Amino acid sequence: MNPSSSSPPAFAPEAEFARALDERDPLARFREHFHIPRSADGREQIYFSGNSLGLQPLTVHGLVEQELKTWAEKAVAGHFEAATPWYNYHRSLTEPLAAIAGARPSEVVAMNSLTVNLHLMLVSFYRPTRERHRILMEDCAFPSDTYAVKSQISFHGFDPAGSHRVATPRLGEETLRAEDLVQLLDEEGEKIALVLLGGVNYFTGQAFDLQGITEAAHRQGCLVGFDLAHAIGNIPLSLHDWGVDFAVWCSYKYLNAGPGAVGGCFVHERHANNPALPRFSGWWGNDPATRFQMHLLPEFAPSPGAEGWQLSNPPILSMAPLRSSLELFQAAGFQALHEKSRLLTGYLEYLLRRIPAGAYRTITPGDPAQRGCQLSVSTKVSPRALLQALQNQGIVADFREPDVLRFAPVPLYNRFEEVWRLGQALHEAAATS
């Protein structure tokens, strides 16, 4: 079963088949590196909400504990004398993050949280003019992005009603067609200052053709940024080679770094060393060589690369968990994870298709290249009752209005048998509703 081959894999609906896949799974052992939450009866939950909050790697506790100990024992000296000195702690994340983002190390930095980073990027990359002031987003973008974008448009003295352009799917369709986005760019590109899309849409699970969109947008002179909250650690990314201008992400979903964990940011190197770009500055973005020359009149001298957009000294306790998770990504290898991901999600899709028509409709694209691990399923069964029925069986998923349940089988810790159990539970719920 080769997920990258053109023919779809041959699945079977029996539990034995799912168990056999687990037995043959070269990544199965990675599940043992995570805490699996348990239900009230003590059994391990079947957790499909890694698209909301990833599970905790076992080594997180030790890494956070280590920093607490250093703080207790060394206090301020920890900045330079900790095992990983706090002064440059963020750099311990750079290489593995760059690998996952398909970036050069100088193009990425772990900092702040997603919406903060988005604002910082908009300050630098949204430079509206009377002729070119629109920001193009996808329909159903994550609300925080829309709030950020509209507030930036207003901040620049434009009216969001005229400058916030939303690309909508065709009538009767749930997801955007790549050719429609390209056509929109061809027709309206000269009025669009910035294209800002979710790499994977949080609601539909649709993964966009980030390379194609970047090329089409650049042909029209637009800049391009992506919200990778649902993409990073989920789908393969080559931000540098695709020429993306900037990207932002959070680390609490597929990067398993814990609630509110430090976010991340990518700035393409062609911008990253351009001191003429406007930016909101802070001392941590200043060149480390002169950062502490406080006796001189401080004139901001940005660090080269994405680090130049940092504002504050890094939150060590929030960064430590990310190190744990990135080590697991490195050990597993992203290509192998992606191949398993396609199989896991393909299997769920297969099982959903076997349920008699009418109860469920998968709105995530069927083409594996147009999705990550998440399937969003519109249901005729009362979604809240369904969610409850799943919960009663220890299955964790979530619900988004009006009728969509989201399931994200995550290759680092989910099993094929769990997907099979979900299929069974959905089947039973449809039969009894």
Residues 190-219 that bind ligand PLP (CB under 6 A): 198, 202
Min dist. Cβ of residue 349 to ligand PLP (A): 22
Q: Are 210 and 182 in contact (CB under 8 A)?
A: no
- Contact pick of 149, 229, 262, 404 for ligand PLP (by CB under 6 A): 229
- Interface with ligand PLP includes 246 (CB under 6 A)? no
- Interface with ligand PLP includes 144 (CB under 6 A)? yes
DSSP assignment letter at 194: E
- Interface with ligand PLP includes 226 (CB under 6 A)? no
- Interface with ligand PLP includes 371 (CB under 6 A)? no
Cα separation of 49 and 379, whole Å?
18
Any alpha helices (H) in 200-333, and if so which ranges? 210-219, 239-242, 269-272, 316-332
- Interface with ligand PLP includes 138 (CB under 6 A)? no
Give whichever of 205 and 263 is closer to ligand PLP, judged by the CB atom.
Answer: 263
Q: Are 378 and 402 in contact (CB under 8 A)?
A: no
- Interface with ligand PLP includes 142 (CB under 6 A)? yes
Cα separation of 326 and 328, whole Å?
5
- CB neighbour list of residue 62: distance below 8 Å, 6 or more residues apart: none
- CB neighbour list of residue 380: distance below 8 Å, 6 or more residues apart: 358, 359, 360, 403, 433
Min dist. Cβ of residue 52 to ligand PLP (A): 7
Which residue is it, tokens 């800002």?
A: 196
Q: In what order do the strands lie in the sheet with 108-110?
A: 108-110, 264-267, 246-249, 223-227, 192-198, 134-138, 164-167
Min dist. Cβ of residue 352 to ligand PLP (A): 23
- Interface with ligand PLP includes 231 (CB under 6 A)? no
Min dist. Cβ of residue 31 to ligand PLP (A): 24
Min dist. Cβ of residue 172 to ligand PLP (A): 25
Number of residues in the chain: 433
Residues near ligand PLP (CB under 6 A), total = 13
- Interface with ligand PLP includes 145 (CB under 6 A)? yes
- Give the range of 103-111, 152-160, 227-235, 345-353 binding ligand PLP by CB under 6 A: 227-235
Residues 66-85 that bind ligand PLP (CB under 6 A): none
Give whichever of 204 and 362 is closer to ligand PLP, judged by the CB atom.
Answer: 204
- Interface with ligand PLP includes 232 (CB under 6 A)? no
- Contact pick of 113, 163, 234, 286 for ligand PLP (by CB under 6 A): 113
Q: State the residue number with the nearest CB to ligand PLP.
A: 115
- Interface with ligand PLP includes 414 (CB under 6 A)? no
Q: Please name the amino acid found at residue 335.
A: Q
- Interface with ligand PLP includes 114 (CB under 6 A)? yes
Which residue is it, tokens 């469920």?
A: 360
- Interface with ligand PLP includes 281 (CB under 6 A)? no
- CB neighbour list of residue 41: distance below 8 Å, 6 or more residues apart: 394
- CB neighbour list of residue 331: distance below 8 Å, 6 or more residues apart: 30
Distance of alpha carbon 190 from its chain centroid, rounded? 29
Give whichever of 205 and 302 is closer to ligand PLP, judged by the CB atom.
Answer: 205
Min dist. Cβ of residue 202 to ligand PLP (A): 4
Q: How many CB atoms lie within 10 A of CB 221?
A: 11
- Contact pick of 25, 67, 227, 339 for ligand PLP (by CB under 6 A): 227
Q: Are 305 and 269 in contact (CB under 8 A)?
A: yes
- Give the range of 11-19, 34-42, 181-189, 222-230 binding ligand PLP by CB under 6 A: 222-230
Min dist. Cβ of residue 421 to ligand PLP (A): 26
Min dist. Cβ of residue 282 to ligand PLP (A): 18
Q: In what order do the strands lie in the sheet with 398-400?
A: 360-362, 375-379, 404-407, 398-400
Residues 30-59 that bind ligand PLP (CB under 6 A): none
Cα separation of 135 and 125, whole Å?
11
- Give the range of 11-19, 189-197, 224-232, 315-323 binding ligand PLP by CB under 6 A: 224-232
- CB neighbour list of residue 188: distance below 8 Å, 6 or more residues apart: 134, 136, 165
Give whichever of 18 and 196 is closer to ligand PLP, judged by the CB atom.
Answer: 196
* Contacts with ligand PLP, residue ranges (CB under 6 A): 113-115, 142, 144-145, 198, 202, 227, 229-230, 250, 263
